[in-house]
Structure 1
Amino acid sequence: MDFSKGAATIEQGFKGQKWTILGEPYVPLHKTPSALLMHAEFGPDSFVPAHLHETQDETLHILEGEMQFEMEGETIVAGAGTSVMLPMGIPHALFNRSGKTARALVFVSPTGKMYDYMAAIDGLTDPAEVVRLGAEHEIRFV
């Protein structure tokens, strides 16, 4: 499916498409073979465990709130208006320790299997199943 044409809003996503993964909402906005753009919300105390993308780069642009990223032994704190690059092959973890909801745009390039992975884990509440399916979609949890 190619979402490269047309407009999408955070409220409606592209053609009404939305995902909920481990209780957190993700909304795909645009997708082409070379890029995927999503909106994500991270509730207080939410996190994405350490993982790496074997074939794609990921960038998060913080729209609201504050996120912490752990990568290569460093902690990066990013607030609204900040973009954080998470290069392929480098393990990284994301945390919302701010006590408030954080919102971000997530850009993945090339799309690789990320879109299919997000669709596959939609509605899952078991972290072990999310990790297991990652291995099938070029995402390795470490």
Structure 2
Amino acid sequence: MTLQVPTLVGRDEGEHFHFLNILYTAKINSDQTDGSLTVMEFLGYKNFAPPLHRHDAEDELLYVLDGEVWFSCGEVEAVQSTGAMVWLPRGLAHTFQIRSETARVLQVSCPGQFERFVAALGRPTDEPVLPIPEEIDPAHVAQVCSEFSIQVLGPPPPPVTH
């Protein structure tokens, strides 16, 4: 086991990525935790949603810092808002969708490696701002996901209009 050192990261600090039309910021990476976890924060626009997918290698814990997000995991689904915490165990199909104009969510993945997935699929950026939305290639997303033991099982949920 590697000797770990404390890490302090400010609100807009960390390694930033434009990832699937949202901003992901690596707050604590797996190298800093000897592989035990990754902590990331994402900021996204209304209707952002990843495809329905399943993680075979990690569990996810999400804390809604600001906004409103619909979560679906297995047979459970609900809209959660600021202050809510959601546990998404590995092996269960899940997705989520931002329902407010924007939302900011803290994500803890165990064991660590999720920042490597974000780096492989996203683009580094120096500024912690939302990207201009662009077309996403679902086949490329599925291919990169499979390299990180994430199985794409279906499309994202359709946009909500209310």
> What band does the TM-score fall into relative to the shorter chain?
0.7 to 0.9
Structure 1 counterpart of 2:142: 131
Corresponding residue SS for 1:47: coil
Alignment of 1:45-84 (within 5 A): 45-84=47-86
Tell me how far 1:103 sits from its aligned partner. Answer: 0.4
Tell me how far 1:114 sits from its aligned partner. Answer: 2.0
Seen in structure 2, the aligned counterparts of structure 1 residues 39 and 97 have a Cα distance that, compared at 3 Å, is: same
Where does structure 1 differ by over 4 angstroms across 4 or more consecutive aligned residues? none
> Counterparts of 1:60 and 1:4 in 2: how far apart (Å)?
24
Please identify the structure whose Cα radius of gyration is greater. Answer: 2
Q: Which runs of 5+ in 1 are unaligned?
A: none
Q: Which runs of 5+ in 2 are unaligned?
A: 124-133, 154-162
| Identity in percent | 28
> Counterparts of 1:19 and 1:59 in 2: how far apart (Å)?
20
Structure 1 counterpart of 2:37: 35
Taking only aligned residues, the RMSD between alpha carbons, in angstroms, comes to: 2.0
Query: Is the 1:18–1:26 contact (alpha carbons within 8 Å) kept by the matching residues of 2?
Result: yes
Q: Which of the two has greater helix per residue?
A: 1
> Counterparts of 1:6 and 1:87 in 2: how far apart (Å)?
26
